Structure 1
Amino acid sequence: MTSFIRKAACAALLALLGSGVMVPVASAEQCSPGKAAHEYEDWKWIENNAARAADTYAAERQPMATYIHATTQVVFLEGREGYFVYLENKGVTGAVSTAILQPNFDFCDDPGKLNDSDPNLLTVIQGTYNGQPF
């Protein structure tokens, strides 16, 4: 399943990046092994922040989408724009919500230094609900 999520995330990101929708990048270089934010223990708080950011984004655009129990995958796209966070949530009704977020912080550093309640840590660059972008 993880492989499927990674492939889907990469495909969605490549399609999105090809369309020119981007925000400023905090860190476009791949991190040294063990130094990427998602490899630290405090990453769980940033995942929480990502879900809140995606929920806020969805509330304005597609209120049926939800990300509270989402699985998280971090994807690095070499030569594209760095790291992205991909969320996927399968609801009890079978509905699937996804979100792609771009970090607004140095991804090659310990996220324990960040204020995990800061609503500007990540920018949602795309959300989908049952495959439909919003």
Structure 2
Amino acid sequence: MTVRKGAIALALMMVCGLPLGAYAAQCEEGNAATDYSGWQYIENNAARTADSYAASHNPKATYIFATSEVVYQSELGYVVVLTNKGRSGDISTATLTTNFDFCGDPARLDDNREDLFTVTGGSFNGQHF
């Protein structure tokens, strides 16, 4: 993609409100955000984003101690899947798409930003919300 075409695509995504990460190509080996030491801060941001979403959709679901898995889906880009098993056995899951270029060092990102991820779904004990 040329710079001009890339700029046009970026402008269209911003105007249409589409998440930028959803259209990213798969990262080269060793260049995904998860490959860098700063990923833990962005991962924590994903958990906070999911907790905020759950607070207004199903407050019983929590993600602050969740484990994460990152998968690449050609139609969505990079997706973060959070799973939290509570002490009582309750299981919360959340799926988030990235709103940033997932390829590269996440140290360039402000991990306090609330718009790094978009929650696309959540569940509590198998009940989707």
The whole-number CA distance in structure 2 between the counterparts of 1:35 and 1:132 is 35
Unaligned runs of 5+ in 1: 1-22
Identify the match of residue 111 of structure 1 among 86, 94, 106. 106
Map 1:20-59 onto structure 2 (within 5 A): 23-26=18-21, 27-59=23-55
Letter in 2 for 1:97: S
Corresponding residue of 1:60: 56
Give 1:87's aligned residue. Answer: 82
Partners of 2:37 and 2:66 lie apart in 1 by 18
Structure 2 distance, partners of 1:84, 1:25, is: 12
Q: CA deviation at 1:81?
A: 1.8
Q: Which amino acid in structure 2 is aligned with residue 54 of structure 1?
A: A
Quote the RMSD (CA, aligned, Å): 1.0
Contact preservation (8 Å) 2:39, 2:106: yes
Q: Percent identity?
A: 53
CA contact (8 A) 1:25 1:82 kept: no
Verify the 8 A CA contact 2:81 2:93 in the aligned structure 1. Answer: yes
Instruction: Determine helix, strand or coil for the equivalent of 2:41.
Output: helix
Task: Point out the structure with max Rg over C-alpha.
Answer: 2
- Structure 2 SS opposite 1:128: strand
How far 1:82 moved relative to its partner?
1.1
TM normalised by structure 2 equals: 0.83
Counterpart selection for 1:72 from 68, 72, 83: 68
How far apart are the structure 1 equivalents of 2:76 and 2:60? Answer: 30
* C-alpha distance in 2 between matches for 1:24 and 1:34: 23
Q: Distance in 2 between matches of 1:85 and 1:74?
A: 5
The alignment's TM-score, normalised by the length of structure 1, stands at 0.80
Question: What is the number of equivalent residue pairs in this alignment?
Answer: 111
